[in-house]
Structure 1
Amino acid sequence: MKYRKMSESDVERVLQFLSSVTSDAKLTWRDVEEFSGFTRQALQARDDIKGAYDVAKKIVRQGKGYRSSGQEIPLPENTDESLRDELLALRERVKQLESQEALWNRRWYRIAYNIRQRGIQMVDVDKVIPLESKGMTSRQVDNLLRPFEGVIPPVASRREE
């Protein structure tokens, strides 16, 4: 077996693979090894790849949801029609929320990854603001956080080439 050092393009390719994992997929380190051609140890040595794997694994687990067997719990036969409709609507809403949570998890991973790429440690992001600091005005905070409000943006699974 030929060994070589993992390049930044290799890392990016593995990160794209992990970000494209869907909630109905099966994911193991062996899958990532086969895709990348690198050993599990080499992959886990990279914090960004290990973090992406953890997020992808969480998405896969969430996809199983309350239906660990892969099938929905059947409705009782004597269920009132209005209760049946409400239960079906609630199940659909749960699916939507699980999907949104998966998108948010991917988005927060990207945010954390990009913060780390700029040399900022995650523990530094949520530190208490020192009393002697000038701080920010409410308007500055609103302007800074506005892009993160509203509808969940689409998740980019592949870099545009």
Structure 2
Amino acid sequence: MNESLFIRLVKYFYGINKPFDEFTKKVIYEAANKVAFGLIIFLFVSIFLSLGIVNLYATPNIDNIAIGMIFADGIAVLIALTYIEIVVKRFGLGEYDYSNESERKKAVRSYIVRNIITLILIVILIIYVDLCLHGDSSVIVFVVYAILFVISRYLDYRRKFK
């Protein structure tokens, strides 16, 4: 079955292993439309706010405005991802009974690879933000984050596969 890129991305990010039927596609597309509309409104508001703030303050504060907008955009993305996660859990799309052991092993392997990639990308993002902000974060921040991430993923693994 040929799936769209959007459906494959949703299945990848939320660990959905089963194929989507028409009802599931309708639910996911409706949630995606709500998220897209909310993000468009947020972007228009943030554009006008940042333009207004830049006009009110002197140029040295532009760096602070840019950093504030980066964090606001990050919060908006987290809200959008949380909404999609709620929809996925509400309709039970992440739950799947495996018909045989090889299908289960493939899902476990995909889960582990996906979470390793996520951990690497988030640590790279943390390092990049730290370098951009000229921070002096120690290695402990990254180690603590990695340990907490691994613990949370292990608990999620136990919930899904055990």
Answer whether TM exceeds 0.5 for this pair: no
Higher RCO (CA 8 Å, separation ≥ 6 residues): 2
TM range (shorter): 0.3 to 0.5
TM-score by length of 2: 0.39
More helix by share: 2
TM-score by length of 1: 0.39
